[in-house]
Amino acid sequence: MTPEAKNILVHLREAFYTQFAAAMKRDVSIAKDNSLIFSPSLAAVASWVDDQQRFNYLSVNAHTTPDALFPDQPLTLRVTINPPSGVITNTKSVHKRTRLSLNSSWSLNLTVLPAEMEEMAHWVASWVHSQDNESVAIAAPYRLKVVPTPDASDYQVWTQTAWNCLHPEEQQNASTYEETVQPYQAA
């Protein structure tokens, strides 16, 4: 990762966490807690307890980034919420410290361009609330593309511009997987 890309990521991660926490309208902890994370080098993680008293967590990381080998590679960012157990957190440590189970009923990977990151925070919070209470999320500020996965509770969502940036060959063709996510909620 280039130093410039790293600075952009750090700034956007902090801004996203701040806006997401405000939009959640509940206590959201933003911490780098080595007892909850396998690798101390990982960035801070946002976490909260949902209405069903389950532990949820969110991270913001680079998905693709320019570097010495690929200097023209675009910087794309990924918001990951509740990935399969053990991917980001140490499941046993979470349960031991919080006495809560991890929310494994759904997960979300949202891939965006840096310019889209901050505006997506409110939508992500709305989407999380919609998973908790089976409501409809607010309209996203950007057109979204859903990529099907084998697991119906695992949502892979991209802004259309991030998808087009990394898949220019598909920009010419209408994708059979494309759909606008408005409204969108878990099955």
pLDDT band per the 50, 70, 90 thresholds, residue 40: very low
* Sheet bearing 76-81, strands edge to edge: 29-31, 45-49, 55-64, 76-81, 107-112, 154-159, 144-147
Cβ(64)–Cβ(50) below 8 Å: no
pLDDT in tens, 103-139: 888 999 999 999 999 999 999 999 999 998 888 899 9
| pLDDT value, residue 92 | 56
Quick check: 102 pLDDT over 90?
A: no
Cα–Cα distance measured from residue 155 to residue 165, given in angstroms and rounded to the nearest whole number: 20
pLDDT in tens, 55-84: 898 989 999 999 999 999 999 999 999 987
Share of the chain above pLDDT 90, in %: 50
Quick check: 172 pLDDT over 90?
A: no
Best CA proximity match to 110, nearest among 99, 98, 121, 102: 121
Distance (Å) of CA 67 to CA 60, 71, 77, 127, 176: 19, 5, 15, 33, 32
pTM, 2 dp: 0.82
Cβ(159)–Cβ(113) below 8 Å: yes
